[in-house]
Amino acid sequence: MTAFNASRRRFLAVSGAVGTGALLSSCVTQSPSASGGKSGGPVTLQSNLSSPQAKTSMQQLVAAFNKSGGAEAKLNTVASETFRTQLPTYLTSANPPDIYTWYPGSVAESYAKKDLLLDLDDIWGKPELSGYSDALKKLCTSTSSGKKVFVPTSYYWWGMFYRKSNFAKWGVQEPKNWDEFLDLCDKLKSKGVAPIGLGAGGDTPWVASAWFDYLNIRVNGATYHRELLAGKHRFDDPEVRKVFDTWDEARPYFDPNGTAIPFQDATTALLQGRTGMMLIGTFFADAAPKDALGDLDFFQFPIIDPKVPVAEEAPTDGYFASARSKRADGVKELLSYLAGAEAQELYLKNSSGTALPTHPDAKDAGTPLVVKGRKLIESAADVTQFFNRDSSDALQPTADTALVHYLAKPKQIGSILTTWQRSAQKIWSQ
């Protein structure tokens, strides 16, 4: 094993260890391949990767697979937020798409409980997946049935992104802690720049959850954060109120349009220098012009309390399949291909290249940005996924409502948290 592969495996071991609360559980429907699993027509791959570069990369992947001479695949690309809301309908329809871009964790767990996910145990024994870490194998396994239901293909990090040329023009540098971060915000605001972009408007209000996640894991720690999202603490607890007290220190520096525009438009504002920096995942780079990628950089979300172990957000992405698929053999052929090093490298080559592959032999883009991102993740004491991935898609709208309300009317935080707790309790009680 190379040092690079060993380091990646160490990260994945951490992510598996800390993510046990979000591991897949429940029953999984047996594969239709037990009775043949064959039907005419191509395997349908339903994708939420709708930004230009990501969509092109998926098209290239499917084209390469179709040249292999085996099963045939057809790509259906759906706008990300439409996909998110329609996913339950897709999976419960009489004739659903076969494969879906998504992620392991609570959402996959909820579908596995309803017998909607295909048993993928047999492909996990194939060469394409045999070298995956034990942590990833565990992350993709239903804990009650012991069946694999997910194929991971990439992971990525979140950070405070900015343009190097803009920071140089403004004469500012990356901050090392919360106080330096607020000083940076002061300097940018004095230059007529909105210091912090957001993009929680339109159909991407969930972006605001990154700020809640990071402030909570910096103030209260990752363990408390995951317990809160699991219903073991209350959103109106004093610990959560402390999160918003800290947020109040940075709130005056947010772009006034932050809750009016989606993250794609916030990305444009960042690239054009109308905002100074933005807390976002690397997926945003797929919406940026390729000639701007070399000018992008990021810094770690500032440390607030040095006594709190440092955690970072590093979500895992990949695929699961419908248990109702009539083309299970073709589904598994395509998933085996997507799990391989060649396919993952092809995807990175045609996209922004800012994600990290899960296959132990796949090479990442190797850019300074990616090297820095990998180092950030591997040096973390703990790893979280993201608000809905550490809780559920059902809980996410409660956060969207509460956080957008807070940004608009921060003085109402008391009643906002009371309402958030009431809404969350209804979800947890289901």
CB distance 141 to 24 below 8 Å: yes
* Cα–Cα dist 257/369, whole Å: 28
CB distance 205 to 261 below 8 Å: no
* Cα–Cα dist 244/413, whole Å: 8
Record the tokens describing residue 320, joined without a space.
């699961």
How far lies 15's CA from each of 28, 166, 379, 380, in Å?
23, 34, 12, 10
pLDDT per residue as tens, the chain (430 positions) = 333 333 343 344 434 433 433 333 333 444 443 333 456 799 999 999 998 889 999 999 999 999 988 999 999 999 988 998 899 999 999 999 999 999 887 777 778 888 999 999 999 998 889 888 887 887 788 766 788 999 999 999 999 999 999 999 999 999 999 999 999 999 999 999 999 999 999 999 999 999 999 999 999 999 999 999 999 999 999 999 999 999 999 999 999 999 999 999 999 999 999 999 999 999 888 777 878 889 999 999 999 999 999 999 989 999 999 999 999 999 999 999 999 999 999 999 988 888 999 999 999 999 999 999 999 998 999 888 899 988 888 899 999 999 999 999 999 999 999 999 999 999 999 8
Domains of the chain in start order, with CATH, are: 43-156+315-362 (3.40.190.10), 158-313+386-428 (3.40.190.10)
Non-local CB neighbours of 379 within 8 Å, separated by 6+ positions = 310
In the DSSP assignment, the letter for residue 115 is T
- CB neighbours (10 Å) of residue 7? 15
Pairing of strands 194-197, 275-281: parallel
H helices of 230-367, where?
Answer: 238-250, 263-271, 328-338, 341-350
* Cα–Cα dist 269/266, whole Å: 5
> 300-327: per-residue pLDDT in tens?
999 999 999 999 998 999 999 999 999 9
* Cα–Cα dist 16/12, whole Å: 6
Q: Which residue has the tokens 């996913």?
A: 87
